[in-house]
Structure 1
């Protein structure tokens, strides 16, 4: 049973942090009746895909509210961030910039090797928004993380070149996964707990997609600090080694420290499953595409092949293998990203195959 006093302490402290207004919260939670009947578990959906003032919401809005609170206080005009060419985070950063009349500069790694000659989905919307786009192509024997680090170094040089002082620019890490951005999902966990209490629910498990770690870090930080008994499962969408657990634990700890809370998480506190990545990031998998179709055909809910599809594949596999207690309450956190359904064919894979 969670500690109510710690819940209130965390809520009071986080409410003192400056933030921008970018989303419509709380996002709705409701039961997926057909999937619940299929698996004998009470499956609920948290609709963070409907979080933003723009049509294209998602989990990054929560992080950006805290990051833009600092950006607006600093008075920065040039806002830099990073991702793949179909990055949800980059798009949402550009949207937030336009909300506050700031200049979005996006460094995007061409993970799938398609370039932007025929822009689709997020990269198309980035261009409609008038964002300044820098495409980062892979060098020989370079992986996506190395390319991203190189992009960060290049962007710092460019930021200094176009700015009169350091206050004129702000560098947002990939996915908004900084201690400040992570507070968005510390707060999100508290929001979920309030809804759980109001609706007389008792979640035993929460499933979501994890990439850069800010969402997982924030949810786990709040979960462990208030001593909750919910299992927070991060289903990985890209290949990572065991150092990822330490990185997320450090991010969780740093987020709580920002609030003046002396509480340390370890890698043993972080629950991550790497079994549903498939071949790699932005590479479709049959299991993820099957999950996308199950959600669509059973509930009329759209997921995507890159993030939520892989998270749902993990959740469905747990359900089908009997790893989740029958009759228990389970939450699937929809983190957005359905724009990827309109992306390049390389990202969609065999989604339209009737036999998956």
Structure 2
């Protein structure tokens, strides 16, 4: 049972943080009746894909609310961020910029190597928004992390060139995975606990997709600080080594420190499953595509092959292997990203194969 006093401390402290209005919260939670009957557990869905304020919501909106709280106070006009060409975070950052009449500048790594001559899905929407886009191609023997680091270095130089002072620009890390961005999911955890109480639920496990780590860090920070009994499972969508556990723990600790809460998390507090990445980021897997079809055919819910499909593949594997308690309450956190269903075929793979 969670510590009610600590929950109230978190609510009070996070309510004092600077925050822009970007999303429609709380996002809904409801039961997936057909999948619940199929797997003999009570599966609930948290719909952050419906978080707004545009049609294209997702988990990054929560992070951007806290990041833009600082951006607006700082008075920055040029907002830089990073990701792959089909980055959900980059798109949502550009949308947030247009909400507040700011200039979005996106440095996007061409992970799948198809360029943007025939723009689809998120990169098409980025262009409709009028975002300034810089495509980063891989150099020889360079992986996505090295390319992303180079993108950040190049963008900082450009930011200094076009800005009179440092206050004129703001650099948002990939996925919004900074301590301030992570507060979005500390707050989301509190939102979920209210819904759990109001609906007389008792979640034992949460499953969600983890990439840059901010969503997992925020949920884990609140979970561990409150001494809550449920498990927060981050299903990885890209290859990471064991240092990722420590990175997420450090991000959790830093987010709580922003709230003036001294509470140190360690790698042992973080639950990550690396078994459903497949060949790599933005590379489809048979397990993820199967999960996408299971959700669509049983519930009419669309997932995507890059993020939520892989997370759902992990959850379904746990259910089929009977690793979860029968009859228990389980939450799948839909973090958005269904735009990827309209992306390049390289990302979709054999999704339509029977």
| RMSD of aligned alpha carbons | 0.2
How far apart in 2 are the matches of 1:315 and 1:31? 15
Give the SS at the match of 2:134.
Answer: strand
Give the SS at the match of 1:95.
Answer: helix
Pairing of 1:144-155 with structure 2 (within 5 A): 144-155=144-155
Structure 1 equivalent of residue 143 of structure 2: 143
Give the SS at the match of 2:107.
Answer: strand
CA offsets per residue over residues 164-188 of structure 1, 9 Å max, x none? Answer: 0000000000000000000000000
Structure 1 equivalent of residue 96 of structure 2: 96
CA offsets per residue over residues 249-277 of structure 1, 9 Å max, x none? Answer: 00000000000000000000000000000
How far apart in 2 are the matches of 1:269 and 1:141? 34
Structure 2 equivalent of residue 166 of structure 1: 166
Structure 1 equivalent of residue 250 of structure 2: 250
Report deviation, 1:43.
0.1
How far apart in 1 are the matches of 2:267 and 2:74? 33
How far apart in 2 are the matches of 1:146 and 1:259? 32
Q: Note if 1:46 corresponds to 2:46.
A: yes
Report deviation, 1:324.
0.6
Report deviation, 1:52.
1.4
Structure 2 equivalent of residue 188 of structure 1: 188
Report deviation, 1:304.
0.1
How far apart in 1 are the matches of 2:252 and 2:312? 24
How far apart in 1 are the matches of 2:188 and 2:171? 23
How far apart in 1 are the matches of 2:137 and 2:331? 38
How far apart in 2 are the matches of 1:192 and 1:125? 30
Structure 2 equivalent of residue 218 of structure 1: 218
How far apart in 1 are the matches of 2:20 and 2:186? 16
Give the SS at the match of 2:79.
Answer: strand
Give the SS at the match of 1:80.
Answer: strand
Structure 2 equivalent of residue 109 of structure 1: 109
Structure 2 equivalent of residue 292 of structure 1: 292
Report deviation, 1:198.
0.5
| TM-score normalised by structure 2 residue count | 1.00
Q: Note if 1:133 corresponds to 2:120.
A: no
How far apart in 2 are the matches of 1:196 and 1:301? 21
Count of residues in Structure 1 that have an aligned counterpart in Structure 2: 354
Q: Note if 1:65 corresponds to 2:73.
A: no
Structure 1 equivalent of residue 123 of structure 2: 123
CA offsets per residue over residues 284-304 of structure 1, 9 Å max, x none? Answer: 000000000000000000000
How far apart in 2 are the matches of 1:343 and 1:78? 27
How far apart in 2 are the matches of 1:170 and 1:20? 15
How far apart in 1 are the matches of 2:117 and 2:107? 16
4+ runs of 1 displaced by more than 6 Å?
none
- Stretches of structure 1 lacking an aligned partner (at least 5 in a row): none
How far apart in 2 are the matches of 1:270 and 1:238? 17
